[in-house]
Copies of this chain bind each other. A is one copy, B any other.
Amino acid sequence: MKLYEQLANSIALSIQEGVLCKGDKLPSVRQASSSRNISPSTVFQAYYLLEARGLITARERSGYFVTGGAGGIPASPEPILVKHEELTQVDVSELVFEVLESTRMKKVVPLGSAFPSPLLFPLSNLARTMASSIQVMDPWSSVDNLSPGDADLRRQIALRYMIDGLHVPSDEIVITNGALEALNLCLMAVTRPGDTVLIESPTFYAALQSIERIGLKAVEVPSHPKDGVDLDAMEWALERHKPKACWLMTNFQNPLGSLLGNEKKKALVELLTQHQVPLIEDDVYGELYFGDKRPMPAKAFDTDGLVMHCSSFSKCLAPGYRVGWVAPGRYSKIIERLKLTTTLSASAPAQLALGKYLQKGGYDKHLRNLRHTLLVNQIKFIDAIQRYFPEGTRLTKPQGGYFLWVKLPDAVNALDVHRVALANGISIAPGPIFSAQRGFTDYMRLNYGHIWNENIESSLEKLGKIVSDLMR
């Protein structure tokens, strides 16, 4: 990252964290230059960037001021403590499909979408890489790319882990059709119908759908919006329900945005290892951190081969290419075979193109831009929500990813918001789709991973009005 980008990002983080609030004056260029020991032109570049992104504004002869921000935002919502003494037969698919359909409609502002805007990705660069790699593709790659997948791509993925300080042998990696297939294969590998699976609450609805489809039972363990799953509750559930697997997100959880610290991840893995319960770790958002470095996955603390670590390029680089992977520890062979007998392999052209793209370099630069854009977007979303939503609204302030988890003021039902908003051309993701018990009725998830513009802002204004109207 260039020096001015570093400075811009660190100022944006301060705004997000509420250290810098709306109206605050930034240090003068001379001050900043001297205190940070960088050239005045670097400071200027950083300020220009932040001004272009709409986070600060220059007032003539006075300096730079924060235009909006997250100061004084409502506190994080508290976790909802679900009753975890009961097992749940999951039956949430119908509602989820209804909501998903709505996010796919053209002309609907996709605040309920699960994907960031494809315009944030280097699609033309990727397309050029694919165009050149496909034309020299070895005809036999259709055989070579059968599960476990393209050797170069697997090596590039292993290399990235190595650079982040995590040892994942490329031999362990199985390429899949996106992380969703990886997660499903993991679940199939370690459960049989009727078994119990431990999930967090709220949880990514795909976990609920998979559990429902396979005929498993779910134990929901409450999760905190800030630091994730409650380990005491998990221990209790492990002892009481003897689950066959635990499926959760450790980094920037969907929908909460929560992040487990390293100590907590370590404790989580130890607890599961003690009970010999495999962890299906969904880490698709791990690369989208706003801080200094990638948060480790729980996989980093695994000593027993019990962590099945899943990720993909769909949220960071290549939506629609459908290339994900799993590093399944001791279950590597089982997963490879499950993949072979269910979908055989991932698409060869997509595997080749991604392997080539990673090798060429440029991915890290893209990720830095993407992270910064998401951070700036989050600040603007929070700022807009503060302005337009009624008192009593509370929300999270995640350290990465592109989701806000919004608690609606009392008595407002998120399904009502969903219906009225959709009639007004806006989608949201209502809380009940993230719960086997259709709880979280007064929560919604908003996606800030779309390009900020007036249309988004006016949609948030409309949404705030809809919530206000529903309070009456």
| B118-A143 in contact (CB<8A) | yes
Q: Binary interface profile of A, 121-158, with partner B (CB < 8 Å = 1, else 0)?
A: 10110011011101101011111011000000000000
- Interface: A119 (CB within 8 A): yes
**Using Cβ atoms and an 8 Å threshold, which residues of chain B touch A100?**
340
Closest B residue to A183 using CB positions: B342
Indicate if A115 sits at the interface (CB-CB under 8 A): yes
Q: Chain B contacts of A429 at CB under 8 A? A: none
Q: Give, as a whole number of angstroms, the nearest-CB distance from A181 to chain B.
A: 4
> In the docked arrangement, what's the CA distance between A250 and B115, Å?
41
- A139 near B118 with CB under 8 A, answer yes
A25 close to chain B: CB less than 8 A: no
Tell which of A121, A178, A319 has the most Cβ of chain B within 10 Å. Answer: A319
In angstroms, Cα B291 to Cα A151, docked, is 41
Interface residues of chain A: helix, strand, loop or mixed (majority)? helix
Q: A353 vs B130: C-alpha distance in the bound complex, in angstroms? A: 12
Partner of A322, one of B97, B188, B319, B344: B344
A349 within 8 A of B: yes
Partner of A341, one of B135, B141, B213: B213
Distance of A135 Cα from B141 Cα, bound (Å): 22
Q: In whole angstroms, what is the CA distance A135 to B321 when docked?
A: 14
* Closest-CB distance, A318 to chain B (whole angstroms): 8
Q: Which residues of B contact A176 (CB under 8 A)?
A: 343
Whether, in the assembled complex, A184 has its beta carbon less than 8 Å from a beta carbon of chain B, the answer is yes
Contact of A93 among B130, B145, B337 (CB under 8 A): B337
Task: Say yes or no: is A193 at the interface (Cβ < 8 Å to chain B).
Answer: yes
Q: Which residues of B contact A346 (CB under 8 A)?
A: 177, 322, 347
A121 near B135 with CB under 8 A, answer no
Say if the beta carbon of A99 comes within 8 Å of chain B: no
Q: From B113, B119, B134, B338, give the contact of A139 (CB < 8 A).
A: B119
A337: chain B residues at CB < 8 Å are 93, 97
Cβ 8 A contact of A137, one of B123, B181, B322: B123
Q: Mark A337-381, 1 if CB is under 8 A from B, else 0.
A: 110111111111110010000000000000000000000000000
Interface presence of A23 (CB below 8 A) = no
CB < 8 Å: which of B119, B319, B342 contacts A184? B342
| Chain A window 288-327, contacts with chain B (Cβ cutoff 8 Å), 1 for yes, 0 for no | 0000000000000000000000000000000111110000
Known: A118-B143, A142-B321, A320-B348. 8 other contacts (CB 8 A): A97-B340, A118-B140, A123-B137, A127-B135, A127-B137, A178-B343, A210-B342, A320-B345
